[in-house]
Amino acid sequence: MKRLLLVVAVVAVVAGACSSDTEPLIGLRVSSDSAVGDSRLLFAVNEVDGTRRGSPDEVVTVVASPLNEPNRSYESVADFTWIVEDSIGVYRATVPFDSAGLWQIDFSISTGEPTEPFLVDIQESPSSVAIGEPAPLVATRTLADTPIEDLTTDDDPVLSLYESSLDDVLQNGHQTVVLFATPAFCVSATCGPMLNQMKDLMPRAPDVNFVHIEVYEGFNEPGFVPDGDHLAPAVNEFGLLSEPWMFVMDDSGIVTARLEGVLVDGELEGILGLE
Q: How many residues are given for the chain?
A: 275
pLDDT at 206: 96
Residue 88, H or E segment: strand 88-97
Q: Is 252 helix (H, G, I), strand (E, B) or coil?
A: coil
pLDDT at 174: 98
On whether the CB atoms of residues 64 and 95 are closer than 8 A, the answer is yes
Q: How far is CA 120 from CA 35, 162, 216, in A?
A: 10, 36, 28
Domains of the chain: 9-122 (2.60.40), 148-271 (3.40.30.10)
Q: How far is CA 98 from CA 35, 70, 71, 165, in A?
A: 9, 14, 14, 36
Predicted TM-score (pTM) above 0.95: no
Give the integer Cα–Cα distance in Å for 253 and 132.
10
pLDDT at 83: 87
From first to last of its 275 residues, what are the pLDDT tens digits of the chain?
A: 655 533 333 333 333 334 446 899 999 999 999 999 999 999 999 999 999 999 999 999 999 999 999 999 999 999 999 988 888 899 999 999 999 999 999 999 999 999 999 999 999 999 999 999 999 999 999 999 999 999 999 999 999 999 999 999 999 999 999 999 999 999 888 999 999 999 999 999 999 999 999 999 999 999 999 999 999 999 999 999 999 999 999 999 999 999 999 999 899 999 999 97
Report which of 89, 14, 13, 19 is spatially closest to residue 48, judged by C-alpha positions: 14
